[in-house]
Amino acid sequence: MERSIRSCDVPEATIQRLPLYLEKLKLLQAIGVEDVSSRQLAESLDIKASQLRHDFHYFGGFSRPGRPYRVAVLVTALEQIIGVDHPVPTAIVGAGHLGQALANYAGLELQGFPLRGIFDANPKLQGLEIRGQAIRDLDELEPVCRREGIKIGVITVPASSAQDVATRLVSAGVTGLMNFAPTELKVPDHVSVRHERLTVGFMALSFKVKCGEARLAGEEPDAAV
Amino acid sequence: MERSIRSCDVPEATIQRLPLYLEKLKLLQAIGVEDVSSRQLAESLDIKASQLRHDFHYFGGFSRPGRPYRVAVLVTALEQIIGVDHPVPTAIVGAGHLGQALANYAGLELQGFPLRGIFDANPKLQGLEIRGQAIRDLDELEPVCRREGIKIGVITVPASSAQDVATRLVSAGVTGLMNFAPTELKVPDHVSVRHERLTVGFMALSFKVKCGEARLAGEEPDAAV
DNA sequence: AGTCATCTGTCAAACCGCAAACAGGATAGC
DNA sequence: GCTATCCTGTTTGCGGTTTGACAGATGACT
């Protein structure tokens, strides 16, 4: 008899999987699937069914023993758990190539993260419109964030100004930061930061590629040390 | 007495950290630092020193007991371990907003992933140049990949064509795929795939933000179920 | 009705990764 | 030379995550 949503104290690993579940379930819902078993859902995501049930177990029962899950029920519940049952106003700071690409990415709004502000210090970019949002000067950062109730700030500025931007966003009431700059950020405890590192992904991939080559070639890679 | 590079069978968690070490070490090298202790390096990355030494231990000794690490030694060793001691030719398939943003990202080339091909099915984009690379038609995918020896393919096409692109890249000899499309990819065993999910990151962040709000407000979020 | 197959919720064991502790080497200062 | 300090390489214990197993419930089929 848990509370309806005992959200916190859920393992990090489970949190990471919740979005995957929601994504796949929305897809199933879109093509008209009404019921889905833990086995079916897990296999389509390449994980074990027991793990999926274990994850769901943190939030109480989504079904009854003997009955498969109802897709609609899961979608609604997961949206609420994740917090995208209501729109989460989001702002992007730094309108370079990456910032513009993210701003243009329609998926974000569809998944519940409407873009309510784009900022850049470069005057040449200011005024340019992306998906109905004009790029604003950095001076407007705090007032706009407060007015729009921005909850998540996306940092796509150079590493040198990332900490400054982060501090200003936090001071304007933003409690979630998505950091694309290659720098650690110091923020208060109540703020969550997620560091998205492109080059880390590429290098991890490179490692595995090299590893695969070595394994294929008789595990004698270069020998030139 | 390990082999010089017992690269494979390294835990996934360690692999993920190797790029962070390299990134920070390059930074130190750039500002003229020659020696660094495990404690210093670890603290700047917000991890424990014992973990850093533990990670390095998989690859044999980078120093001797009593002596701190030499930055230059570590950089060279890590570059070789990760596989970026030689350039890793990379191609981008899908020149939409995200594809173009990645193509424009100078960091990739700097980190050892020179862009040797951009492809898109849309004729209107073909011929457009990005950082010296003209966007090519998809028909040229296989020949260019073979000619340039592409090792890593970046998939930034819609989900509907991601699997097709992946199959074609693999058939052209690519053994590492960076997938930005929201779809699982089926590939042979010798190919490594890394799934970069933007919305997953946003949702994980949303969860924590909501969690923080609830905790702050007396853990009674909405109650409207 | 009865049997069988399927499914969820739940628990316990195996597994893995992290962090602290330890042993031994190197250097600086006295 | 000796001591104190700092450092790495290595091992050990602990906590979290994953995996497999089981009990109870449901519906389909005979």
Give me the CATH number covering residue A104.
Answer: 3.40.50.720
Within A46-181, residue ranges assigned H as helices are 49-57, 71-82, 97-104, 106-110, 141-148, 159-171
A58 touches strand C (CB under 7 A): no
The count of domains in chain A is 2
pLDDT tens sequence across B59-84: 988 998 889 999 999 999 999 999 99
- B75 & B98 share domain: no
Does A7 fall in a domain? no
Residue A204 has pLDDT above 80, yes or no: yes
Least confident range from A17-21, A169-173, B59-63, B153-157: namely B59-63
**Number of C-alpha atoms within 13 angstroms, CB side, residue A21?**
33
Query: Residue B202 burial by CB count (10 A; 0-12/13-18/19+): exposed, middle or buried?
Result: buried
- B38 & B127 share domain: no
pLDDT tens sequence across A103-114: 998 889 999 999
Task: Name the residue with higher pLDDT: A215 or A77.
Answer: A77
Q: Which nucleotide lies closest to A13 by the C1' atom and the CA atom?
A: D17
Total residues found in chain B within this entry = 225
Work out the angle at residue A174's Cα, subtended by the Cα atoms of residues A170 and A176, and round it to the nearest 5 degrees: 100
What is the pLDDT, as a whole number, of residue A44? 93
Put simply, whether A220 touches B (Cβ < 8 Å) is no
pLDDT tens sequence across A124-152: 999 999 999 999 999 999 999 999 999 99
A205: nearest CB among B100, B194, B210: B194
Least confident range from A9-13, B195-199, B212-216: namely B212-216
Residue A187 has pLDDT above 90, yes or no: yes
Q: Identify the helix (H) or strand (E) that includes residue B195.
A: strand B192-195
Does B193 fall in a domain? yes
Q: Which residues of A touch B86 (CB under 8 A)?
A: none
Which of A128, A124, A102 is CA-nearest to residue A115? A102
Residue A29 C-alpha, separation from nearest chain B C-alpha, in angstroms: 16
DSSP assignment of B9-52: S--HHHHHHHHHHHHHHHHHHHTT--EE-HHHHHHHHTS-HHHH
CATH of the domain at B67: 1.10.10.10
Put simply, whether A206 touches B (Cβ < 8 Å) is yes
Residue B155 has pLDDT above 70, yes or no: yes
Residue B202 has pLDDT above 60, yes or no: yes
Does B1 fall in a domain? no
pLDDT, averaged across chain A: 91
Residues A20, B182: Cα–Cα separation, whole Å: 9
Does B206 fall in a domain? no
What is the pLDDT, as a whole number, of residue B174? 98
Name residue A164's amino acid: D
What is the pLDDT, as a whole number, of residue B1? 37
* Cα end-to-end span (Å), chain B: 61
What is the pLDDT, as a whole number, of residue A219? 52
Q: Which domain holds residue A56?
A: 12-82
Looking at chain B, the whole-number percentage of residues with pLDDT higher than 90 is 83
What is the pLDDT, as a whole number, of residue A215? 75
